[in-house]
Amino acid sequence: MDAAIQQKIDIWLNGNYDQATKDEIKRLQTDNPDELTDAFYQNLEFGTGGMRGLMGVGTNRMNKYTIGTATQGFANYLKHLYGSIEIRVAIAHDSRNNSRFFAETTANVFAANGIKVFLFDALRPTPELSFAVRTLQCQGGVVCTASHNPKEYNGYKAYGNDGGQLVPPHDKNVVNEVNAIKTVDDIKWSGGEENITIIGSDMDAQYIKMVKTLSVYPDVIAKQHDLKIVYTPIHGSGIMLVPQVLKTFGFTNVNIVIEQATPDGNFPTVNYPNPEEQETMSMAVKKAKEIDADILLGTDPDADRVGIGIKNHKGDWVLMNGNQTAVLGFTYLIEARKAKGIAQPNDMVVKTIVTSDMIDEIAKDNGVACYNVLTGFKWIAELIKEKEGKENYVIGGEESFGMMVGDKVRDKDAVSAVAFLCEMAAYEKEKGVALYDKLIDLYIKYGFYLEHLISITKKGMRGQEEIAEMMQGYRNNPPKVINGSAVVELLDYQLQVGKNLQTGETHDITLPKSNVLQFILADGTKISARPSGTEPKIKFYFGVCTKLESKEKYDETHAMLEARIKGVIDDLKLK
């Protein structure tokens, strides 16, 4: 075993750690040394979604000690940043195993450092935590969740005073403070319990009241109040607020998937609690078929992701991908604000660089500014802060099933998105338009954009090395031709340089550094490669586009675009 790894293990075996932790390390030494190596070879760090990992013993796992270390480092940084003023933080958690314990551990450490803590009385959606940070004028916040990851994972999302997740330099500064803690004896575990205030229903009421203000057409909902809605919280925190928000909006026919309604960190009815997954949403689809629903929706365990299902042009139930949901959502809000006469000349929308370029075209056609930021809602929140007082933020979204309407929350908000998307369905139904037909009409008007995502998992220490090697290979030796089409441009967000591969001309990329590569092909295909910031994966995003002449040509054109994406995947040998 590597000497540095062994040294970390020895510290845990000989240090001030509980006996159960030491016993588990000894068991792994005998029974599973490879797992022990993986548990200690690195420290969990803040990525695009904070700190996230498998639960268990070790520096590379989510446990009491890594949570405590992260919180002590965060506390030290907040005290350094804000000096002698009263520092306040809000803390929430989802339905995952150990989430309540991790949240209480976090609260105790902050409180022991003299920080005023507002701890939710039970599980709550992530967006409510962001809202609470802003409402209570906190300097920071934490939600204990691993979002949509499998049940073995948990995580720790850290927030700044704007209610958005930490961005540079704050995220790296917190990491530096965490790394400066050399022993668990440096962590203040207890002694400030009087600094903890429990919050709950009052904050729920304020959040629900805020979400109600996002409704553009309450009069349409009044007419379509019996819209048949199917909703599943997938055993997560959405059950705490989504039904109440839908009721407040005025919807009276909400059908909850009972088998998935109870919060449960084992997620007993699914393999992967992610509304992106067909299998995960299968119970909701079954329910929608049974009652002939108008729309179905699902939220992940911390209710920041939303997935929707609608009937396609053939009458079959299909699940929208995140790009399709974003296209429909952005278009509805832009068009509805115009029709209602509340659109502003300085309205802006925000998306990420791997989200459908169709949104740029829709915004441009409607005279609305559209900004592209790096992956992760923290960058959307950062842009809102930058543009505050100058431009009017309307909606933001990303292909990974994230949407954020209005600026009162600064993280993706599936709770408000569910209500907003149901209002969209009611609005189109009132006009006699099916949502899928609306999507096809948009394809005819703006071009048929089709996107696809592949995630390749590479676990463990060697896995990280393989991902790094793949990115370096693409960076140093970019392919010249992919699927018969020349690669005309390489965008390297790490080097912050875009290069025309045919002329050699370069231009600067003004976004912050990020390990992302994008290849633009002569036929308009866009390919993005990006290591995940929260999982041991490298993600490849594919976007293709062509003209759609008519509704009758939809299936034929769709098949052609799918074949083009398949050709790209085959050529890159990414199966």
Classify the C-alpha dihedral 432-437-439-445 as positive or negative.
Answer: negative
Cis peptide before 218 (omega within 30 of 0): no
Rg (C-alpha) for the chain, rounded Å, is 24
Phi/psi at 558 (nearest 5 deg)?
Answer: -60, -45
Could you give the angle at the alpha carbon of 156 between the alpha carbons of 155 and 162, nearest 5°?
A: 145
8 Å CB contact between 526 and 543: yes
| Helix, coil or strand: residue 455 | strand
**How do 229-232 and 254-256 pair as beta strands?**
parallel
CB environment 342-360: b (16+ within 10 A), e (fewer): ebeeebbbbbbbbbbbbbb
8 Å CB contact between 92 and 208: no
8 Å CB contact between 162 and 145: no
CB atoms within 10 A of CB 96: 32
Question: Which residue from 530, 521, 518 is spatially nearest to 482, judged by alpha carbons?
Answer: 521
**Cβ-Cβ contacts under 8 Å for 325 (sequence gap 6 or more):** 306, 307, 308, 397, 401, 403, 421
Q: Most distant CA pair in the chain: distance in Å? A: 71
8 Å CB contact between 58 and 34: no
Residue 147 known to be catalytic:
yes
Reading phi first (left if > 0) and then psi (alpha if -120 to 50, else beta), residue 50 is in left
**Four-CA torsion 133, 137, 139, 140, nearest 10 degrees:** -10
Per DSSP, 513 falls in state: P
| Helix, coil or strand: residue 43 | coil
8 Å CB contact between 163 and 210: no
SS3 content of the chain, % helix, strand, coil (to 5): 40, 20, 35
The catalytic residue among 99, 147, 215, 528 is 147
- DSSP bridge partners of 521: 487
Which positions are catalytic?
Answer: 147
